[in-house]
């Protein structure tokens, strides 16, 4: 069995923490300040989180956002989680991405609606 990279994070890598979760900077960031919010309990799917874990994750997202606002002054954020291989999950310990976004950081900016072509075209897509 392969060792989980999130179950043995060095203490010095942790940028924020509460009783049930911790945050680190992503080793392969999409943008400066890209952070991961990780529950301390090992489980694969976001949908297996307890209510207390969800609250802890949410609290850390807000705490990390305040830190990133001060350090990077982004124009926006993407906050998301990949659940399952077909959705892009590659680490089998659930984690949330907090990605600062900056005007001009992508030639085709957009959130989830840019992941794949929609089943029904979004009205603003052709603007």
> Are 100 and 74 in contact, with CB atoms under 8 Å apart?
yes
95 is catalytic: yes
Distance from C-alpha of 60 to C-alpha of 103, rounded to nearest angstrom: 25
> Are 39 and 74 in contact, with CB atoms under 8 Å apart?
no
With a CB cutoff of 8 Å and minimum separation 6, the contacts of 91 are 4, 5, 6
Distance from C-alpha of 28 to C-alpha of 125, rounded to nearest angstrom: 29
Distance from C-alpha of 96 to C-alpha of 58, rounded to nearest angstrom: 10
Catalytic residue among 42, 58, 93, 95: 95
Residues acting as catalytic residues = 95
């Amino acid at each position: 069995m392969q060792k989980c990279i999130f179950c043995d994070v060095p203490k010095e890598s942790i940028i924020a923490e509460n009783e049930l979760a911790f945050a680190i900077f992503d080793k392969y960031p999409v943008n400066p300040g890209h952070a991961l919010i990780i529950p301390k309990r090992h489980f694969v799917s976001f949908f297996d989180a307890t209510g207390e874990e969800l609250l802890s994750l949410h609290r850390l997202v807000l705490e990390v956002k305040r830190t990133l606002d001060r350090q990077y002054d982004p124009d926006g954020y993407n906050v998301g989680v990949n659940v399952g291989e077909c959705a892009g999950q590659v680490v089998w310990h659930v984690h949330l991405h907090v990605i600062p976004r900056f005007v001009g950081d992508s030639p085709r900016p957009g959130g989830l609606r840019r992941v794949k072509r929609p089943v029904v075209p979004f009205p603003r897509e052709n603007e």
